[in-house]
Amino acid sequence: MKPAPIPANEQERLAVLHELEILDTETDEILDEITAFARELFGVDAALITLVDEKRQWFKAKIGFGEAETPRDVSFCGHVVASGETTVIENAALDQRFTDNPYVTADGGVRFYAGAPLTVQNEFHLGTLCLIDSAPRTFSNDQQRLLEMLAKWITSEITARHERKNWQAERDILARGPVATVVWQVEPEVHLIYVAENSQRILGYPSEHLLDPDVRYESIVHPDDRDELLERMHKLIDGKEDYLEMDYRVLTPAGDLRWVHHFARADIDASGVLLRVRGYLLDDTKRKALELELREANQSFDLALTAGELSTWDWNLETNRIKVSHTWIELLGFERHFDQDADWRELVHPDDQAVAREKLKEHLKGLKERFETNFRLRRADGEYIWLHSVGRVIERDQDGRAVRVVGIHRDISTEVRNERQRRQQNKVLELVSTVQHEFLLVKNFSEVCDIALPELMSLTESETGFIGELRASARESNMLLVQGLRNNTDKESQADRQRLVEQGLEIELQGSAIERVLREGKPEICYGEVCNEQAQFTPAIMPSLHNAFLLPIYFRGEVVGCMVLGNRPNGYEQSLLTLLEPILNTLGTLMHMRRVDEERQSAVEELRRMATIDELTGVVNRRVFLEVCSQRFDEQQRYDVPVSLAVIDLDFFKRINDTYGHAAGDEVLRQFTDIAESKLREPDLLGRMGGEEFAILFPYTSEADAFQATERIRQAIAEHPLSLDGEDINLTISAGVAQLRAGDTDVDRWIARADAALYEAKDSGRNRSVVAK
């Protein structure tokens, strides 16, 4: 166990503490009442006002604790004095600073502690208002705020009493000379004729200034107080009042304000004639400041009660009559006499009655020190509020049966609602993490929606849900690709719906509400029956919607999809949008990522196609053709299977280009490949070697069969003129055919023999096929 550290300003702090002269003094009724109120307010075992000096903590007020003081080095309050901040220890047995503290290790020792500092001059922490309990417990932010407000009130009370004590001593001294005496003449006009010499100390003005005939006394009085002083003086002069006594402010030559306590009487002769007015002026600035400070402290106390929203109840179990404070009546919206006309237990929510009844029984039987629970209570308008209620038996009959229970309660509806929202937000954030992780694993957005949609429907209490994605190529249309579809009222058909989604179901969305979602990106709430003019699904995949929440799914400001939630028991509210925004943004990002991935794959396929296919004719290019030839070469070397190839050249192709142009030449090349491919078998491969030169690979084919296949192509070309802009063009080809032989040491040697046969065909007159030698 380590004692609390010593504050840096310890010597100055102790000097202030001793100067207040509060240590080892008699009990104080107000401080005792505050301590008792704190104990009752927070429902703890003990409440204490502590003052920490050099070696001890001494209790100025205490309730529920037997000792008058304890050593400083084992005190919890020493830590508050050291830090100057409110300290809350929910379970001291688990706090390393206090686990071996003798007040913790003792039977029934301290478990819960909360202490707020008593601070003066904004820097000296003299002690605490602290709470102690033998059981661990939690302490809310509102409870901490109330504890700190009570501590400030105690501090104000201590300092104010010290100041009042000093002020009284000062007044006793002033009674021997510090009261300024002034005398007014009445006729012919009211004016000062005597001002005591000590007036400058009281009023800030020398006597000669106030006696100046051109100076009226009221000119030094604050304008806001001047009219009242003149009115009271006239009443005194007119005999309507026997004396004048009031406080007002004086403006000094330095511009400061001073409070003056003014007492005056009229001097009247034996015949009743008014002779003069005699006044006595006392500088009352300090007392007035203290009065304002005390008023502020009292207002702070009232504020503490109001801020705590505490209401009281007093239940007579014999008559079953309950008296409640006015604040409860206002809280529930009933008339003041409702507690006499209704059984309050009927207002408790049905789901909370059993728990509240059990808690009450435990306390009435003495099993629990107090009755404490949370429950919902029905207001006059039918809505429910959440209350935290604490009560104790204060009266029992001669047989020991409880007959009267009193307590307090507080409206915690906002806290419950905030806690519910916090749990929902946590669930949404967990869902965001889950769908992101799942998407990275499977890269399947539909599977992600299968995870997200049921969770979102559960969070929003929706019976049906839909997630759709706008196609990247159709962003201006209303066609959406269905990625998620669910209807809890028809679970038997869920498998059928899932199959449709897996098959790539697309639907068309129409209607004014859905248009605003898809075109303007504005969420829409349909509070009643959703008609076709608002939202229509084609084909009709959604059930009838009694209400709906239509939500756009964004990526960087662009609508990429839509989510529809429908048939919530109590309808939808705009606040759900804030709750769902993180998952909507995540779904939008994943939609975009999937779309980018698809575009990347498409681009890769296109690059692969462009790298392997001749762009003009659509057949394989020279590089790919030679790679396949090399594979067939290796195959023939291993398994001795026949393989042949033909090298083909279009006859007089230059003449076609020169006559009809290159565009026509390109069309001739395309038509040639179409005819050639129509005559080939499935395993045969046609490739463009460059310009008008082509080659055909015949796997598992002998030279003779390859020659016949080449001849079929040549004859088809020769017998069918090619059409170009309505004009027939006669075309012929020449070809050289070569089977791979043992003497071909590589692919180049093989192709060279086919090339030699091609040139022989050309030299022999073209339009023919020649077998290589």
Catalytic residues: 692
Q: CA 389 → CA 238, 306, 360, distances in Å?
A: 62, 17, 11
CB proximity list for 349: less than 8 A, separation 6 or greater: 375, 376, 377, 378, 384
Residue 510, beta-bridge partner list? 536
Phi, psi torsion values for 757, nearest 5 degrees: -65, -35
- Check if the beta carbon of residue 79 is closer than 8 Å to that of residue 89: no
DSSP 8-state symbol, 72:
G
In 602-744, DSSP assigns E strands to 643-650, 685-690, 693-699, 722-724, 727-729, 733-739
| DSSP characters over 174-241 | HTTTTSEEEEEE-SSS-EEEEE-TTHHHHHSS-HHHHH-TT--GGGGB-HHHHHHHHHHHHHHHTTS-
Residue 247: which residues within 8 A CB-CB, separation 6 or more? 259, 260, 261, 262, 284, 288
Strands, sheet with 769-771, edge to edge from the N-terminal-most edge strand: 685-690, 693-699, 643-650, 733-739, 769-771
Contact by Cβ (8 Å): 588, 469: no
**Neighbour-count burial for 98-109, b at 16+ CB within 10 Å, e otherwise:** beebebbeeeee
- Give the span between the Cα atoms of 498 and 481, in whole angstroms: 13
The DSSP output letter for 6 is: P
Taking the CA atoms of the chain, what radius of gyration do you get in angstroms? 50
Phi, psi of 215 (to 5 degrees): -105, 125
What the block records as the tokens of 142 is 């509102």
What does the block give as tokens for 365? 């039987």
| C-alpha–C-alpha distance, residues 144 and 343, integer Å | 35
Structure tokens, 743: 């003497």
CA of residue 249 relative to chain centroid, distance: 51
CB atoms within 10 A of CB 76: 26
CA distances from 412 to 150, 374, 389 (A): 21, 9, 10
Cα 416 to its chain centre, rounded Å, is: 16
**Pair of tokens at residue 4:** 């609390």
Q: Are 120 and 29 in contact (CB under 8 A)?
A: no
Is 217 buried (19+), middle (13-18) or exposed (0-12) by CB count in 10 A? Answer: buried
Order of strands, edge to edge, in the sheet holding 243-251? Answer: 191-195, 180-185, 274-283, 257-268, 243-251
Pairing relationship of beta strands 733-739 and 769-771 according to DSSP bridges = parallel
- Planar angle of CA 96, 101, 104, nearest 5 degrees: 95
Residue 79: exposure state from Cβ atoms within 10 A (0-12, 13-18, ≥19): buried
The residues facing 396 across adjacent strands are: 402
Placement of tokens 């310009």 in the chain: 691
What amino acid is encoded at 593 in this protein? M
Structural element, H or E, at residue 547: none
Residues 6 or more apart whose CB falls under 8 angstroms from that of 205 comprise 199, 220, 252, 253
736 Rama sector, left if φ>0, alpha if ψ -120 to 50, beta otherwise: beta
Could you give the CA distance from residue 553 to residue 569 in angstroms, rounded to a whole number?
24
Tell me the two tokens of residue 718: 């020769």
